[in-house]
A and B are shown apart, each in its own frame.
Chain A
Amino acid sequence: MNLRRDVFQAIADPTRRAILLLVASQAMTAGAIASNFDTARPTVSKHLQILTECELLEQKQNGREIYYHINATNMKEVADFIEPFRKMWDDRFNKLESIMKKHKSKK
């Protein structure tokens, strides 16, 4: 499914993950989000656009300001997210195992 793939691509970028983390704690304006990064404002805007297109973020008008919210309904069910989480641990532990096997053979 395309949306799913896009979501993973969206969260593969460290800046976009950091943005999601920021907004997860509270809804923020684009300016407030950008002030947390050294990156140029247009770059942050681009990230916000991608996250909004992937429906991970949604915009809500509040007075004259537009706030970015985490789109909870479009964050998949936990089960769908276990697999990347599990794979990361698996990769990490595979690395541990191969490193320690070398240690073993050295002795």
Chain B
Amino acid sequence: MEQKTKIHAEDGKQEVVITREFELPLELLFKAFSEPGIIEEWMGTKVLKHEGQKHGSYQLETTDPKGNKYKFNGTIHEFTPNHKIIRTFEFENMPFGVQLEILKFEKLTDDSSKLHMHVLYESNAQRDQVLKMGMAPGINMAHNRLQEVVSKLK
């Protein structure tokens, strides 16, 4: 399958930009970020709490095959349906700090849309650490998928 996700991470910067075009109407794309049941499905994580509104917050929990649990949380600063989400993200009990995520949703045609995700870390060193660990926010422990990636490299 063609890889449609693009990552832009400049040397020395403390941010990453992730962009992706979807063959989905804008409303459906946004729904995947606002309905807990759907978030659980595609993120492969349990949603303990998700308040899609200003001053709201969310909590996620992922269990790996060995039964270890990993928790993530964040605060929602802006939640404008079909337009924009600004939120923080923290991987609990890990030395990654808190990152700021700005998600913009854009309509391309009636059946396609684009996600623009701007992620800011506390420092360049912290960003590089996250990248070097091959870890994406929230998916960090979805290592089955990482293993698939690894097996392709063999």
Report how far A11 CA is from B150 CA in the complex, Å: 9
> B31–A90 contact, CB under 8 A?
no
Report how far A93 CA is from B68 CA in the complex, Å: 25
**B5, B29, B38, B135: which contacts A86 (Cβ < 8 A)?**
B5
A interface SS class: helix
Within 8 A of B (CB), among A28-73: none
For B48, list chain A residues within 8 Å (CB): none
> A92–B43 contact, CB under 8 A?
yes
* Chain B interface residue count, Cβ-Cβ cutoff 8 angstroms: 50
> A85–B24 contact, CB under 8 A?
no
How far does the Cβ of A55 sit from chain B's closest Cβ, in whole Å? 13
Task: Given contacts A76-B132, A89-B5, A96-B22, list 17 more A-B pairs with CB under 8 A.
Answer: A5-B153, A12-B146, A14-B68, A17-B143, A20-B133, A25-B95, A87-B3, A88-B139, A89-B7, A89-B136, A91-B149, A97-B23, A97-B24, A100-B22, A100-B24, A101-B23, A104-B28
> A81–B134 contact, CB under 8 A?
yes
> A94–B1 contact, CB under 8 A?
yes
* A contact set with B: CB distance below 8 Å: 4-5, 8-9, 11-15, 17, 20-22, 24-25, 75-76, 78, 81-82, 84-97, 99-101, 103-104
- When A and B form their complex, what is the total count of cross-chain residue pairs whose Cβ atoms lie within 8 Å? 124
For A85, list chain B residues within 8 Å (CB): 7, 131, 134-136
How far does the Cβ of A32 sit from chain B's closest Cβ, in whole Å? 14
For B61, list chain A residues within 8 Å (CB): none
Q: Does B128 contact A (CB under 8 A)?
A: yes
Report how far A88 CA is from B1 CA in the complex, Å: 14
Q: Does B76 contact A (CB under 8 A)?
A: no
> B28–A17 contact, CB under 8 A?
no
How far does the Cβ of B7 sit from chain A's closest Cβ, in whole Å? 4
Report how far A88 CA is from B3 CA in the complex, Å: 11
For B80, list chain A residues within 8 Å (CB): none
